[in-house]
Chains A and B, each alone.
Chain A
Amino acid sequence: MLVPVSWLRDFVEIDIPVELLADRLTVAGLEVAHMKYIGLPQETAPGVHMPKSDHLVWDRAKLLLGRIVEVRAHPNADRLVLALVDYGEAELEQCVTGATNLFRYKDRGELDPPIWSPFAMEGATVWDGQSDSPKRMTLKGRELRGIYNKSMVCSEKELGIADEHEGVIVMEDDASFVAGMSLADVLGDVVLDIEFTPNLARCLSMIGVAREVAAILGVKMNYPDFDFQAVGAPIEGQVDIDIREPALNPRFTLTLLRDTEVRPSPFWMQHRLKLIGQRPRNNIVDVTNYLTFELGQPTHAFDYDKLVARAGGAPTIITRLPEAGEELETLDAVRRELGEETILVADSAGALSLGGVIGGGDTEISEATVNVLLEAAAWDNISIRKTIKEQRVHTEASARFSRGVHPSQAILGSMRGIELMRQLGGGRIAQGVIDVYPGRPDAVTVDLPIERVNRLLGMDVSLEQAADVLRRLEFAVEVADDVIRATAPDHRLDISADPVVGQSDLLEEIARIIGYDRIPDTIMADEMPPQWENTAVLLEERIRDALVGQGLAEVINYRFTSREREALLTPAGLPPSLAEAEYVEIANPAASDRNVLRHSLMINMLENAVNNARYQATQELFELGKVYLQRDDLLPEEPLQLGILLAGARSQPSWLSDGSSEEMDFFDLKGVIESLLHALHIEDFSFERGTHSSFHPGRSADLLLRGERIGSFGEIHPQVASRFKLREAKVVYGEIAVAPLISQHQRLHNITALPTAPAILEDIALVLNANIAASEVEAVIRQAGGRLLRDVTLFDVYTGDPVPPGKKSLAYSLTYQDEQRTLTDKNAARIRRKIIGAVRHRLNAELRS
C-alpha cells in the first residue's frame, strides 16, 4: 500500500527523518519496500541504507507557491495565455503558458476566490514536460510569441509528481497558503510503499499506519473529527435495514445526504488519491475510495433515488444469501452467477451488490445523482474470501474485508464519509445513522503476568514499561500484583481470547515495540535433549561421498513427471518394471508433463544425459532422492532411491592417451556399484541376470542383497534409448533402493591381519563351455582352493582359435598364502591339483596348455 507521509502527518507528528521512520516501521513489521520522493531531498540517517533516488529535488528558493491573480489573453497567440502570478514579491510575474486548464479563467479580471499554482522562477530545474523520456531542464528567459518569459506555472509531470501533462496544477484557496512559500512545504512528500503481512489487517489504512507510528515513536495519535453536520430530516423512515445472516454481516450502517452535487473533487482530494495510485472520478465516489484508504473502512454509495424507484417507496436494504440461480451485474460490467455462500446486499427488487466486495451497476452514482445513501458495514472475512475466490474479483474493499475489519469501524466510516461528501458536494445530511449491529464481538481481555513476559523474552521488562507499550497501542490497561490486564482496542481482531494465545499476542506487541534489538543474545540454558545416532543421515552422506570419490557428479531433479514420460521407460510389448503402485497426482500441476510424482529416478536422469550430451562427451551422474509410491494409506510411501548413470568414453581425450575412446559399459557400472558396496562394508550381495524390462536383457543384472532383489542395472534397452535419442551413445544406468543398504551396512567390520609369510603366485587357464558364468567358475575355484587360496583374479577371457567353438578360455591368477607359515611348492601343487580336479569334475573344464 502506498502511504504518503503528508497524509500520515494528519494524524501523528513525525519529527524524525522519513528514512529513519521507514527503518523503524520495517523493523516493527511494516516493511517499507520502496520510497518515492516528491520534491524533497533524500536524507541520510545513521545506520540506514537505501537505494539512491534520482528524483527531482525542488529548489526551495526557486520553486514556490504562486497565487494566480489574473489570467489574460496572449496578444499574439490563441493557444497561449498570460498568468499573472503573485509569488511574494512586490511585482507580479507574468508567465506565458499553454495550460489549457487556465483558459477558463481568461479575461475574468482579478480572480476571486484566488487559485494557486506551483511557480518556477528563472534558474529553477524541473522535468521537461514535452519530453517523452525523463529529462531535466533549467528555466531560462526567452521570448514566446513576442512576449518575454522567464518563469512558469508547473504541471504534475514537470514537478515529478505524476506523469500527467494536461495542464498546470490548480489548487483551490486554503487558509494555510501564502504566496511565495516554498513549494516543498506545500506539495513536497515522500510516499512509502509498505508491504503488510496478513496479521496487520488493522494497518491497511493511513490511520492504521499512523497508529503504529504513534506507538513506535511514543507520540499522541490525533484522530479526525467523526462528527457530522446534520440539518436534514431524520433518516428514520427514509430507509431500513434487514440483516438475515448476522454471522456473515455483523453490522450494517447507513447515512443519507440530500441535495448534493456530483462534480470533480477539489485538488487536495484528487492529489491524495493519485499519490496512492487511485484514479479520481467524482466527489462522491472519491470519498468512498478515500475512506477505504484513510480509515480502512470500505464504504459504498448508492443513488438513493434509484433505490426509492426500485422499491416504490422508502427502501429496505436486505443482506442475505442468494436465491438459486440468482445473478448480478457488478460495476466492472461482469454478469455474475452467485454461489450459495456469497453474501449480498439487496433490496426488495433484487441484488444490489456483492457485500463487501463490489457494487452493482443499477444503483451506482451518476452525474445526475442528488441524494446519496452511504453504506458502511462489517463482513465475515472468511465469507468474503470465499466470494473473492469464487468470483475472481479483487477490490480494495475485498482486500480489507477478507483480512478482517472490526465492526466497530463501520459507524466511523458512515459519519466521516457522509460529512466529507457534504463538504465536497454540498447538501444536507439527514439526522442520525441507521445502525443495525447484531454481531458485536466480545471485548478481549488478557491477563499477562510480567513474569511470563520476562521468562519468554529472556529480558527484564518492567511492569510499567510493558503497560506503557500496550497503552501506546491503545489497549485499556490495568495493572495489579505484577499482572497486566489488557483489553484490546476495538479496531483489533487479532488478539485471542484464549488465555495463553492472548498472552503470546501481547508478548509480540511488547517485544516488537520495545524492539527485538533490545532483547539480549543468550545461550540456551535449558536441558539438552537426548541425542541419538542418525544412521540414515550418516549413510546417505557416506553413499554420496563414495560416489563422488569415484568421480561421479551429484544431480538433484524435479520430483515431478508424468505417467506418459515414465511409460517411455518400458519397451513396447514388455511388462513395466517400475514399482507397482499408484501415482501421487497433482491437482494443479505446473505443467502437463509434471502432473505426477515420480516412481523412479530413471526418467529424470536419462533427460539429464540427453541435455548434457550437448556439451559433455562423458557423463557420470548419480542422484539420491525420493520416489513416491501411492498404496493403500492416505499418504504415499517415500522410499529413497539411488540412481547412477554412466555414458561416454571411459578415458578422457588427451594428448597423452593413445587415442582410443572406448565407451563405458555394463562393467563400468558394475564396478561403481561394487565399490560403493565395499565402501559401505556390505558383503552379502550378488548379481543375477537382469529382469528389469528397461534394460537390455542380455546386458543387465539385478543386484541382490542377502538374496533379496534391491536394484537393477545395465545397458538401457535399445528401444528406450532410441526414444530418448540416446542410440548413438551407450548409456548404462542403475537404480538401487537405499533403505536395504542402510539396514544391511556393517557398522562394525573386522579387518584381516596382514600376512607375514610370502605368497606363491601362479596362473591357470581353463577351457570350458561358453555358457558357464564366470562367477560360477570363481566360486568352484575358491571352494576347492580353501583357506590357503587367498585371491583369485580373472585376467583374461578369450574365445576363438585355438579355443574350440562353443568354448571359452578363462585365465586366472591365483595367490596361495598362509598367514604364519611359508608355503612350499609342494603345498601349492596340492591346492592346484584340488582346484583342477574340481573344475574338471564340476564344470567339465580343461586346463589350457
Chain B
Amino acid sequence: MTDSISTIRREALGALERIGDSDALSAWRAQYLGRRGAVGKLFAQIGSLPKTERAAFGQGVNALQQELDRAHEEHRALMESQVMARDLEEGEIDISLPAYPRRRGALHPSTQTHREFQTIWADMGFQVYQSRDVEEDDLNFTLLNLPPHHPARDMQDTFYTTDPKVLLRTHTSPGQIRAMRDLGDGGTKPIRVILPGMCYRQEQVTARSEIQFTQVEGLAIGRNIRMSDLKGTIAEFAKRMYSPNAKVRYRASYFPFTEPSMEVDVECFLCGGEGCRVCKYTGWLEIAGSGMVHPTVLRNGGYDPSEWSGFAFGMGPERITMLKHGIQDIRYFWSNDLRFLRQF
C-alpha cells in the first residue's frame, strides 16, 4: 500500500511542476487534495487495512497530504510571482493617451471674486447685507445727497421703470440707507457691513462697459470712525487682495454721498508701478471710490452727524477680475460662453 502513496506522490508532484495557469492548478488540487481526490481515497482505504498497518499507512497518507499541500502552496506562490513579474515587464501602457474626461464644475468668475471679497471683509468684521435691485429714486439718489437735478446725477445714466419713482439701482449705495435704518436702531448702533450686488446703468455696451455690473459697497458707522481708519482698512484690503507689499495712493475725488471723498489706486501689479498698457502708463490702477459718509446721508440713515461718523467705499469686482485674469472684454461676464466659464 505504501507503493500507492509513493506512486501518487510522484505522479502528483510531476504533474504540479508542469502546471502554468490557475485553472490547471485548481484542477490539480481537486484531483489530488479534493474531497474525492486521490489522497482522500487513500484515507478511505485506511479502514480496510489490517489493524497493524493502519497506523503506519495513516501516517504516510497524512505526510503525503501535507507535502502536496505545501507543494501546491509553493507552486501557487511561484506562479503568482511569475505573473507579477510578467506584468511588471510587459504590462506597460501608453501613458500619453488622453485621460478619461472627468466633469469639473465651475463657479462664475464674478462669484469667485465676490467670495474673495467677502472673506477678506469678514475677517475685518464686515458682514454681508443684501439689498434690493429695483429701488426707489429717493434711496438711490435723493437720500444719498443727490436731489433731483443735482449735477452729479449726470454721472450716472439710469434705467428708470415706467413708475418714475422707481429705478434700477445705479450703485449699491442705496443699501447704505437701508442698512443704517435696518441695523442702526434709530442711529444708536455701530455698523460694519458690505453690500454686494448687481447694479445697472443705461450705457452703450462695449468691451469696457456693461448695462449691468456688480459692486461691493462697504460701510462702517461708529462714534469714532476716522478717515485714517478708512485708509488703514483699505490698505489692509489691498494687501490681502493684491499683494502684501501693495502700495496704495489716494486721490481727492467727489461722490455726493461722502465727504471728504477719494479714489483709491493700487500700484499696478502687472508692471510693478513702472507703467504699462493696462495702467495706461501711470503705474496705478483704480480700485475703489471711498470717503467719509456725508453728514446728510448719516442724518437720512437716522444718525446725528455731530456724534456719529462713518466711512464708505465701493469697488467693482468685474474690473478686479479682469485685471487679475487679463480679461480684455467685460462682455464675457454675462455672455455665459462655456469656453470662458470653464477657464475658472
Contacts and interface: CB of A to CB of B under 8 A. Distances in A.
B168 interface: yes
B127 interface: yes
Nearest to B264: A516
Contacts of A793: none
A368 interface: no
B227 to A, nearest CB: 5
Interface of B is mostly: mixed
A715 B263 CA distance: 51
Contact of A529 (B134, B190, B273): B190
B225 A526 contact: yes
Interface of B: 97-98, 100-101, 103-108, 110-111, 115, 118, 125, 127-128, 130, 132-136, 149-152, 154-155, 159-166, 168, 183, 189-192, 198, 202, 205, 211-212, 220, 222-229, 231-233, 235-236, 249-254, 259-262, 273-275, 280-283, 292, 294-296, 305-306, 309, 333-339, 341-342
A632 B213 CA distance: 28
Contacts of B150: 198
A612 B224 CA distance: 53
Given A457-B226, A553-B341, A557-B334, A51 B281 contact: yes
A511 B151 contact: no
Contacts of A381: 151
Given A27-B251, A459-B228, A585-B161, 7 more contacts: A198-B155, A501-B305, A524-B233, A526-B223, A528-B125, A560-B212, A586-B161
A521 B236 CA distance: 9
Nearest to B146: A198
A652 B260 contact: no
A771 interface: no
Contacts of A590: 159, 202, 205, 211
A455 B225 CA distance: 8
B269 to A, nearest CB: 14
A89 to B, nearest CB: 42
Nearest to B276: A49
B134 A547 contact: no
A554 B128 contact: no
A275 B34 CA distance: 111
Contacts of B136: 634-635
B338 A553 contact: yes
A82 B186 CA distance: 85
A516 B250 contact: yes
Nearest to A523: B232
Contact of B260 (A26, A385, A508): A508
Nearest to B291: A508
Contacts of B166: 584, 634-635
A501 B249 contact: no
A536 interface: yes
A214 to B, nearest CB: 16
Nearest to B294: A504
A50 B253 contact: no
B190 A636 contact: no
B128 A537 contact: yes
A504 B309 CA distance: 11
Contacts of B164: 587
Contact of A524 (B118, B134, B225): B225
Contacts of A652: 101, 103
B251 A500 contact: no
Contacts of A104: none
A551 interface: yes
A800 interface: no
A527 B104 CA distance: 44
A332 to B, nearest CB: 21
A638 B133 contact: yes
A456 interface: yes
Nearest to B304: A500
Given A517-B250, A620-B103, A656-B100, A615 B339 contact: yes
24 contacts: A49-B282, A197-B254, A199-B152, A404-B151, A455-B309, A456-B309, A500-B306, A504-B260, A505-B259, A517-B249, A520-B232, A521-B228, A522-B232, A525-B229, A527-B190, A528-B192, A531-B125, A534-B127, A548-B107, A551-B103, A554-B108, A585-B161, A587-B161, A638-B134
A455 B107 CA distance: 44
B336 A521 contact: no
**Which of B98, B152, B336, B342: most chain A Cβ within 10 A?**
B336
A28 B260 CA distance: 11
Contacts of B205: 590
B220 A524 contact: yes
A455 B336 contact: no
B105 A552 contact: yes
Given A516-B251, A619-B338, A628-B133, A455 B224 contact: yes
Contact of A638 (B132, B254, B283): B132
Interface in A48-100: 49-52
Contacts of A404: 151
Contact of B251 (A29, A458, A525, A556): A29
Given A584-B161, A655-B98, A522 B231 contact: yes
A31 B280 CA distance: 14
A559 interface: yes
B256 to A, nearest CB: 8
Given A516-B251, A549-B105, A587-B160, A386 B149 contact: yes
Nearest to A589: B159
B292 A527 contact: no
A-B pairs, 9 with minimum CB distance: A458-B228, A458-B226, A29-B252, A548-B105, A551-B103, A526-B222, A197-B254, A508-B260, A516-B250
B229 A522 contact: yes
Contacts of A586: 159-162, 168
Contact of A556 (B149, B154, B283, B333): B333
Contacts of B98: 654-655
B194 to A, nearest CB: 11
A511 B294 CA distance: 15
B249 A557 contact: no
Most A C-beta atoms less than 10 A away, residue of B105, B128, B228: B105
Nearest to B191: A529
A554 B132 contact: no
B212 A559 contact: yes
Nearest to A457: B227
B263 to A, nearest CB: 8
A459 B228 CA distance: 7
A295 interface: no
Contacts of A556: 108, 110-111, 333-334, 336
Nearest to A386: B149
A50 B105 contact: no
Contacts of B107: 544, 548, 554
A532 interface: yes
A636 B134 contact: yes
Most buried by B among A197, A512, A523, A585: A197
Nearest to B115: A541
Contacts of B227: 456-458, 511, 519
Nearest to B292: A456
A542 to B, nearest CB: 12
Nearest to A608: B336
Contacts of B261: 508
A521 B235 contact: yes
A517 B262 CA distance: 11
Contacts of B333: 556
B212 A558 contact: yes
A668 B160 CA distance: 41
A120 B246 CA distance: 49
B123 to A, nearest CB: 12
Given A385-B151, A458-B229, A28 B252 contact: yes
A723 to B, nearest CB: 20
Given A508-B259, A612-B336, A29 B253 contact: yes
Nearest to B222: A526
A531 B127 contact: yes
Nearest to B149: A382
Interface string A433-459: 000000000000000000000011111
